[in-house]
Amino acid sequence: MQSLECHACGNKVLVAKYSPVHTSIQWIDPARDTCREFASAAIADEDTHYLPRCGALHESVDRAVRDGRLVPSRRVEPQPIESRPNEP
């Protein structure tokens, strides 16, 4: 995972980008304490556990990928091992 700072609030998170639609984000500090969007939801008494994402952070991730600051993972999915004739 790579460190990334949100352009809107400065919150730092760890990010892994696997594909254009698959991003993994690990919050270092509680999101409701550091993210404007999560904090607004908490003030409005919304359950922040189900807030799907922070739009500003999502934009920061996309921008970092475009600018080359966030390198997508080259992870390869494992392939099944084919059994050999004398193996169970």
The 10s digit of each residue's pLDDT in 40-50 is: 877 777 665 56
Query: pLDDT value at position 20?
Result: 83
State mean pLDDT over 69-74. Answer: 86
Going by pLDDT thresholds of 50, 70 and 90, the confidence category of residue 84 is: low
Of residues 20 and 60, the one with the higher pLDDT is 60
Rounded CA separation 46/23 (Å)? 24
80 part of a folded domain: no
Query: How many domains, in total, are found in the chain?
Result: 1
Residue 86 DSSP SS3:
coil
- % of the chain residues with pLDDT over 90: 31
73 part of a folded domain: no
Residue span of the structural domain in which 15 resides: 2-67
Of residues 70 and 53, the one with the higher pLDDT is 70
Q: What size, in residues, is the chain?
A: 88
Rounded CA separation 24/86 (Å)? 41
pTM value > 0.85:
no
Residue 53 DSSP SS3:
coil
16 part of a folded domain: yes
